Amino acid sequence: MSKEIQKEEGELEYHDILLDLIKGQSKKKKDALMKILYGGECIPIELSEKATDLSTEHDFEIKAFNLPTAYEEELRKPRKVRIGAIQNSIAVSTTESVEKQRNALWAKIEKLLIAAGEMGTNIICLQEAWTMPFAFCTREKKKWMEFAEPIDGPTTKFLSKIAKKYQMVILSPILERDIKRQGQIWNTVVVIDADGEVLGFQRKTHIPRVGDFNESTYYMEGNTPHTVFETKYAKVGINICYGRHFPENWAGYGLKGAEIVFNPSATVGLLSEPLWGVEARNAAIANGYFTVAINRVGTEVFPNEFTSGNGLPSHKDFGHFYGSSFLTAPNGLRTPSLSRVRDSLLVAEVDLNQIRQVRDKWCFPMTRRLPDYAKLFNEASQLDWEPEIISKSNPQKKKK
């Protein structure tokens, strides 16, 4: 990637530019634009003093919002939950030892998790493969495979103490080494409940084969589709990275009762940024739950040049990971994005009662046609299936 593109990719804060343009409008126009672009305005939450001090001392951003529910119910008490997301760059050069890279990331993320705990966050998710650089572009096995660890490995032990201290559910995406399956590698999120105990794990369902995303060199599709975890605060699902491109995948978590679906990701600007603000938001609306899209930040440079069979010259970096993490409510209201370039913490307070309120309004669960979809998907999953197209040579048959 050229230095000019790197500079443009890494320095522009598109959402800040957009909000600056909106600020120059009259209140009527501003309200209309915010309603169209973001579904309305979220209410800022005051940051705790300790969280503010941590963000200043360690140079990370905090954005915190309240997403108001439609109305307060008479019979059900509010189910207020504070949801968090962390995005970050790597902490040291990829040329450093595995242990030094991992330990530096532990030290960095600990500060953001403490800030989240001080903000009263109940459930928080980290970015995809947060304990390492996203080295799967290189197709190299040496060194990068050493970041893999068991579900109950050192990273989980490290996070369990923080989870227990702050009574905070932590979703930790790691490169998993499956000891029970001859050391097989998976892309996995470990679910640590508020008591510090491991509740379970979700493995990545969809593996990309596009551009520099050479992940199938390391791991294949997971075997835990659409798992929903009943944590202390909410029922959560985890749709890892590439799975966000599949509406059916998002739907699976909703059908199994998820109230919040997290999408920990690692994706670069020149590939996916036009899609980023659309997919998770659409999923929240279509499925009537909260979604949290999380992406890492920065440009990670690797020691050796690599190519990906796509005709591009050999290069040493993946491109710019553009951050821009955000949360969306079932009614389509979304938070402003986090930074494209900075380590950041997002905290959003929501009322889970909104899920039923939105479903009552739109009646999606009642009006969808699951038997029709099931019939089509079952037929289409057969290798000899051919779609029926109505034409003059193949007229439509009358139903009896």
Helix ranges, the chain (H):
3-11, 14-23, 27-38, 49-58, 98-118, 154-166, 247-255, 269-287, 353-362, 364-367, 370-380
Strand order in the sheet with 260-265: 228-230, 235-238, 260-265, 290-295, 326-328
CB count within 10 Å of CB 323 equals 27
Q: Are 225 and 206 in contact (CB under 8 A)?
A: no
Residue 104 structure tokens: 């530096």
Contacts of 294 (CB under 8 A, 6+ apart): 85, 86, 87, 125, 126, 127, 128, 262, 263, 264, 265, 325
Catalytic residue among 9, 42, 128, 215: 128
Alpha carbons 247 and 150: distance in angstroms, whole number: 30
Q: Are 9 and 271 in contact (CB under 8 A)?
A: no
Catalytic residue among 63, 108, 204, 235: 204
Decide if 241 is catalytic: yes
Catalytic residue among 241, 279, 300, 349: 241
Alpha carbons 14 and 276: distance in angstroms, whole number: 13
Instruction: List Cα–Cα distances, 259 to 195, 247, 287, 288, in angstroms.
Output: 20, 16, 10, 8
List the catalytic residues.
128, 204, 241
